[in-house]
């Protein structure tokens, strides 16, 4: 790959591209880089590169002409090497947001030319004439495009074959794709009283990978809900984890089972209230929940208790009249081993007479929303009516969103 940077500070850019991993790769000839001084292409005696903006306003604007002539020279050099016309990117705060997808797309170019603005901007006409795209590296304004062009160059060049040869772990299509990275630790084992998570010292590769996967997903869910939901859509659960030999789901019939169901439902409601930041103390008691479940039963709901080796640790409810799934609960110690997934799948199969079984979910319960999306439920939107705002209790308002199964079960199976 050939990369060109058109700038008022070529030495700055060149130093960066000659340092560390990129410097080594450049010396090995894994890419070619050229930094061009815009000032060398001026046509005035003072070698002035900018002027006042037409229409007034503060700051200065870079002339079109020196940038255009510099770009013509870059295009000529590429042609001389038998390369195609370079892909020309202007770095400006008004550009399209820079993403990993953009990195991959640009990394596929044979030649990439990055033009750095300075001062208040660049004469728009040179962008119109030469620019294939405009990129911004974030919603903040830099004094110039140099740092932005180096961000683009760094992220594109690290994808070139051989550049990360020693860093084999960073495979572009890795499992961690589109999730935030899991936390990393190195020696010593205990630093200032903080131990490394014990699982990392077990040498059990499968457990370590599973732990890292959970950390990545958890971090992405809490720090970047947008990325998490996109990841869920692109990572459907196509194989439901098998039920363990000691695992059972039984219909709630007698008083003792109803008692257990109410306890589980009350625990789930408490967690829900905590995450929603509801005033402590307003959570319904198991007694209130039992009345609620009994009323629901009279309205056509059926509840199923999940148990593992005889210990009740999960609950789900289905309403045959309406096709609703609800009251999903898994006790704290039993979370993270697929019980929620199995219960949701169990519930939707119980509702096989409904084309699109549905769940009402508080809008900020991203863990459940993510799981539903991965299980082929989708939010109802204006285009797909049915969106509602629900109230879960008298004093606490929760915004709820309906998620319906996207593909009817018999078509899926």
Task: Give CA–CA dist 51/119, Å, rounded.
Answer: 10
Q: Which of residues 242-301 bind ligand ADE (CB under 6 A)?
A: none
Select from 41-49, 90-98, 175-183, 341-349 the region that touches ligand ADE (CB under 6 A).
90-98
Residue 137 binds to ligand ADE (criterion: CB under 6 A)? yes
Task: Give CA–CA dist 64/55, Å, rounded.
Answer: 17
Edge-to-edge, what's the strand order for the sheet holding 61-62?
Answer: 50-51, 61-62, 121-122
Edge-to-edge, what's the strand order for the sheet holding 32-37?
Answer: 32-37, 2-7, 111-116, 87-97, 133-136
DSSP 61-129: EE-HHHHHHHHHHHHHHHHHTTPPPPEEEEEEEEEEEP-HHHHHHHHT-SEEEEEE-BTTEE-HHHHHH
The only residue of 10, 66, 117, 357 in contact with ligand ADE, by rule CB under 6 A? 117
Q: Which of residues 138-167 bind ligand ADE (CB under 6 A)?
A: 138, 140-142, 145, 148
Select from 30-38, 63-71, 92-100, 235-243 the region that touches ligand ADE (CB under 6 A).
92-100
How many residues contact ligand ADE, by CB under 6 A? 13
Smallest distance, ligand ADE to C-beta of residue 123, A: 15
Smallest distance, ligand ADE to C-beta of residue 31, A: 22
Which sign, positive or negative, has the C-alpha torsion 274, 278, 281, 286?
negative
Smallest distance, ligand ADE to C-beta of residue 90, A: 8
Residue 131 binds to ligand ADE (criterion: CB under 6 A)? no
Residue 402 binds to ligand ADE (criterion: CB under 6 A)? no
Which residue is at the shortest CB distance from ligand ADE? 148
Burial degree of 80 (CB within 10 A; 0-12, 13-18, 19+): exposed
The only residue of 92, 220, 331, 401 in contact with ligand ADE, by rule CB under 6 A? 92
Secondary structure (3-state) at 294: helix
How do 194-195 and 247-251 pair as beta strands? unpaired
Residue 23 binds to ligand ADE (criterion: CB under 6 A)? no
Select from 4-12, 28-36, 49-57, 130-138 the region that touches ligand ADE (CB under 6 A).
130-138
**Pick from 387, 300, 390: nearest CA to 350:** 300
Residue 12 binds to ligand ADE (criterion: CB under 6 A)? no
Smallest distance, ligand ADE to C-beta of residue 186, A: 33
Task: Give CA–CA dist 331/268, Å, rounded.
Answer: 8
Residue 7 binds to ligand ADE (criterion: CB under 6 A)? no
Cβ-based neighbour number of residue 406 at 10 Å: 15
Between 93 and 337, name the residue whose CB sits nearer to ligand ADE.
93
Residue 373 binds to ligand ADE (criterion: CB under 6 A)? no
Residue 113 binds to ligand ADE (criterion: CB under 6 A)? no
Smallest distance, ligand ADE to C-beta of residue 310, A: 59
**Pick from 78, 92, 175: nearest CA to 138:** 92
Contacting positions for ligand ADE (CB under 6 A): 91-93, 95, 117, 136-138, 140-142, 145, 148
């Amino acid at each position: 790959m050939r990369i060109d940077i058109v700038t008022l500070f070529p030495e700055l850019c060149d130093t960066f591209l000659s340092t560390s991993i990129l410097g080594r790769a450049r010396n090995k000839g894994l890419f070619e880089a050229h930094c061009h001084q815009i000032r060398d292409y001026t046509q005035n005696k003072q070698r002035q590169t900018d002027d006042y903006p037409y229409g007034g306003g503060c700051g200065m604007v870079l002339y079109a002409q020196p940038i255009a002539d510099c770009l013509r020279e870059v295009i000529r050099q590429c042609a001389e090497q038998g390369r195609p016309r370079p892909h020309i990117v202007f770095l400006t705060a008004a550009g399209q947001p820079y993403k990993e997808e953009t990195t991959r797309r640009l990394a596929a170019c044979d030649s990439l030319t990055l033009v750095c603005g300075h001062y208040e901007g660049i004469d728009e006409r040179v962008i119109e004439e030469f620019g294939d795209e405009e990129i911004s590296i974030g919603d903040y304004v830099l004094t110039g495009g140099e740092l932005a062009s180096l961000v683009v160059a760094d992220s594109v060049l690290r994808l070139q074959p051989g550049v990360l040869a020693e860093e084999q772990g960073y495979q572009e299509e890795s499992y961690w794709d589109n999730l935030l990275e899991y936390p990393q630790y190195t020696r010593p084992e205990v630093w200032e009283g903080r131990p490394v998570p014990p699982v990392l010292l077990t040498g059990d590769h499968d457990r370590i990978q599973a732990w890292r996967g959970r950390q990545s997903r958890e971090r992405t869910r809490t720090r970047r809900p947008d990325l998490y939901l996109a990841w869920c859509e692109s990572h459907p659960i196509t194989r439901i984890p098998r039920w363990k030999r000691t695992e059972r789901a039984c219909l709630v019939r007698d008083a003792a089972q109803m008692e257990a169901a109410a306890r589980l439902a009350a625990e789930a409601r408490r967690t829900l209230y905590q995450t929603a930041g509801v005033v402590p103390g307003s959570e319904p008691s198991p007694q209130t929940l039992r009345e609620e479940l009994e009323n629901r039963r009279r309205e056509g709901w059926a509840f199923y208790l999940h148990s593992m080796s005889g210990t009740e640790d999960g609950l789900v409810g289905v309403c045959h009249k309406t096709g609703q799934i609800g009251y999903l609960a898994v006790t704290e110690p039993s979370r993270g081993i697929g019980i929620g997934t199995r219960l949701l799948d169990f519930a939707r199969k119980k509702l096989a007479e409904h084309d699109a079984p549905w769940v009402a979910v508080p809008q900020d319960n991203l863990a459940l929303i993510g799981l539903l999306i991965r299980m082929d439920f989708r939010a109802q939107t204006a285009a797909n009516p049915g969106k509602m705002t629900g109230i879960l209790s008298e004093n606490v308002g929760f915004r709820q969103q309906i998620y319906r199964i996207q593909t009817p079960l018999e078509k899926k199976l």
